[in-house]
Amino acid sequence: MAVLVIAEHDGKQLKTGTASAVTAAAKMGGDVTVLVAGHQCADAAQAAAKLAGVKKALHCDAPHYQGFLAENLAALIVPLAANFTHLVAPATGFGKNLMPRVAALLDVQQISDISAVDAPDTFVRPIYAGNVLATVRSSDRIKVVTVRGTAFDAAGAGGAAPVEALAPGPDTGLSKFNGQELTKSARPELAAARIIVSGGRGMGSAESFKILEALADKLGAAVGASRAAVDSGFVPNDYQVGQTGKIVAPELYIAVGISGAIQHLAGMKDSKVIIAINKDAEAPIFAVANYWLVEDLFKAVPELTSEL
């Protein structure tokens, strides 16, 4: 058996989901190879080679991998697949976009967003917004799998695998990358943060998110949001935690002014400790909270910030 992990990276560094995907890959058995494809990504390839458990890093550099277009990356990965029993990627925006295209070209039914590896062909995955865990067995020759990052520990440093250059695949010319508008933030990334402070509709305005930011800065935390807060325009949509946003599992999740709809709970209920602050004593969020406080958030949050 041999596993190919498709690395998500920004050219310089690996994104956090990649190291978790390597851990999941190691559980599937066999040698783990990591593919780092992109434009000007030599540093990321070096970083991949240093992950514990990695046998080899493949570095493929070409201008047409800028923007990580699924069409071009799939054309590179599919011919490689013959040498592997498993293709693995993080279940992030990157992996979700790319891997089904690869799977279909290989005539394989992908297994999305796994939270556990039971056997090389058997995986556990959450469905129905995390309300059900399904154990599924694949009958396909090659297993194409995306991995829920928060369900696996990140592989540490300490590896010393060789980096091998790989010739680029074709430029399909089907789509063109026109750039990104990234949300600028000095705080930790949501998916990787140890502590997350999240606000919901109860925040009332974009302005009042400042009190959450002050609390987050005090804790070194990331700021998240419910869909209601995003739809109301309080914060950009990449702040969204939930089934349709990011799935997080920090050590501490502080939910402020969030009622706790199924959609939101799916994104955060695997957090180690959950705190909820809400003035509605009947809010469903209290059912998953370790500690909850029934109080007006505009009083409780500044008080919490000054207590810390």
Partner 1 sequence: MKVLVTVKRVIDPYVKVRVKPDGSGVETANVKMTMNPFCEIAMEQAVRMKEAGVVTEIVAVSIGAQQCQETLRTAMAMGADRGILVETDVEVQPLAVAKVMKAIAAKESPRLVIMGKQAIDDDSNQSGQMLAALLGWPQAAFISKLEVSGDSAEVTREIDGGLEKLTIRLPAVVTTDLRLNEPRYVTLPNIMKAKKKPLEVVKPDALGVDVTPRLTTLKMQEPAKRGAGVKVADVKELVAKLRNEAKVI
Q: Shortest gap between Cβ of 252 and partner 1 (angstroms)?
A: 4
Q: Shortest gap between Cβ of 121 and partner 1 (angstroms)?
A: 10
Q: Shortest gap between Cβ of 244 and partner 1 (angstroms)?
A: 5
Nearer to partner 1, 76 or 191 (CB): 191
Q: Shortest gap between Cβ of 56 and partner 1 (angstroms)?
A: 27
Q: Which own/partner contact pairs does 279-285 have at CB distance under 8 Å and 24+ positions apart?
A: 279/202, 283/258, 283/259, 284/259, 284/260, 285/255, 285/258, 285/259, 285/260
CB 138 within 8 A of CB 15: no
Q: Which phi and psi angles does 171 have, rounded to 5°?
A: -90, 110
Nearer to partner 1, 1 or 134 (CB): 134
Nearer to partner 1, 53 or 143 (CB): 143
Q: How far is CA 51 from CA 21, 25, 162, in A?
A: 11, 12, 11
Which residue type, as a one-letter code, is found at position 14? L
Which residue type, as a one-letter code, is found at position 179? G
Nearer to partner 1, 132 or 160 (CB): 132
Residue among 255, 302, 306 nearest 279 (CA) = 255
Alpha carbon distance 128, 116 (integer Å)? 17
Residues whose CB falls within 8 Å of the CB of residue 109, separated by 6 or more in sequence, listed in order:
103, 138, 140
Q: Shortest gap between Cβ of 195 and partner 1 (angstroms)?
A: 7
- Identify any residues that bridge with 252 across adjacent strands, giving them in sequence order: 195, 273
Token pair, residue 36, equals: 């780092």
Nearer to partner 1, 182 or 186 (CB): 182
Q: Shortest gap between Cβ of 119 and partner 1 (angstroms)?
A: 10
Q: Shortest gap between Cβ of 122 and partner 1 (angstroms)?
A: 7
Token pair, residue 138, equals: 């694949």
Nearer to partner 1, 205 or 306 (CB): 306
* CA angle 181–13–162, rounded 5-degree value: 145
Q: Shortest gap between Cβ of 158 and partner 1 (angstroms)?
A: 27
3-state secondary structure of 80: helix
Nearer to partner 1, 4 or 283 (CB): 283
Nearer to partner 1, 161 or 248 (CB): 248
Q: 């829920």: which residue's tokens?
A: 148
